[in-house]
Amino acid sequence: MLAAIAESDNGRLVAMASRSAERARQMLEPHPGVRIVDSYDALLADPEVDAVYNPLPNSLHREWTVRALEAGKHVLCEKPIGLNAAEAEEMAAAAERAGRHLMEAFMYRFHPAMREFVEGVRDPIHVQATFGFTAKHDGDIRLQPNLGGGALLDVGCYTVSVSRWILGEPVEVAARGRFEQDVDVSIASLLTFPGATTSSVWASLESPEEQALKVVTRAGVLTRVKPFSAYRDPHDPYRLMVESFGDSVLHDRPVAIPLSESIANMRVLDRIAEAARP
């Protein structure tokens, strides 16, 4: 994201807030001139900052997004936008009150090849979406329940998002998960949509690298390998996302991923989480 902002046509890096000034300095080595501030509050008080990118742990998305909006900043918030749909709704209400733009950072939706793939789907019958990898150490925030960890929120949000992008809103949800220390390390769900079309979604924090999208249509099978990766061929989906958000901010245009979409995605994630509980 640092490179995407720095290389964008309509944005620039101004400041970074970090608990570790040394770590921030290391991250900003390729970007001289960016100020380091010692608190998130100081960043939100900075008059030079027009918009904030919130990459904090999932459990802090709502708090610091709302505080940024109340400070008059536009916010690009990392996915998932919150821990649940209620948080997403609260964040949307805060953006409305503040008159500021808020968008969930689902960068994969900005890659031209991904858009072309989805727009080219005709008469789908079934979607299969998978995203898994191994979280390598116990201290990983993705394995901490108090920080909003778990496979569903971390990578399952992608599989649900793309299924809904293609098929619409599910009417039925079934799910099973494998839990360790109150964290879903693997989770699978079958979503049923109007017309009895279906999607099987699977996410894991304990598997080898796995990422694929398959769409069964009446005319054939469409497959996209690594649909959620940051392809740079030559398109950089992170830069495209930043530029799209920047355009919304500069010209007061609706964001490309509306908050209604983010709330709807969180509602499905909530239903999967509830169905998967033992």
Please give the positions annotated as active site.
79
Distance CA 216, CA 123 (A): 9
167 half-sphere exposure, CB direction, 13 A CA radius: 33
Q: Would you call 39 exposed, middle or buried from its count of C-beta atoms within 10 A (0-12, 13-18, 19+)? A: exposed
In sequence order, which ranges of the chain are alpha helices (DSSP H)? 2-7, 21-27, 40-44, 61-70, 85-98, 112-119, 151, 157-167, 237-251, 259-276
Lookup: tokens for 104: 């969930």
Q: Is 165 helix (H, G, I), strand (E, B) or coil?
A: helix
Burial state string for 65-87 with b = 16 or more CB within 10 A and e = fewer than 16: bbbbbebebbbbbbbbbbbbbeb
Determine the angle formed by the axes of helices 85-98 and 61-70, rounding to 10 degrees.
10
Amino acid identity of residue 182, one-letter, is: D
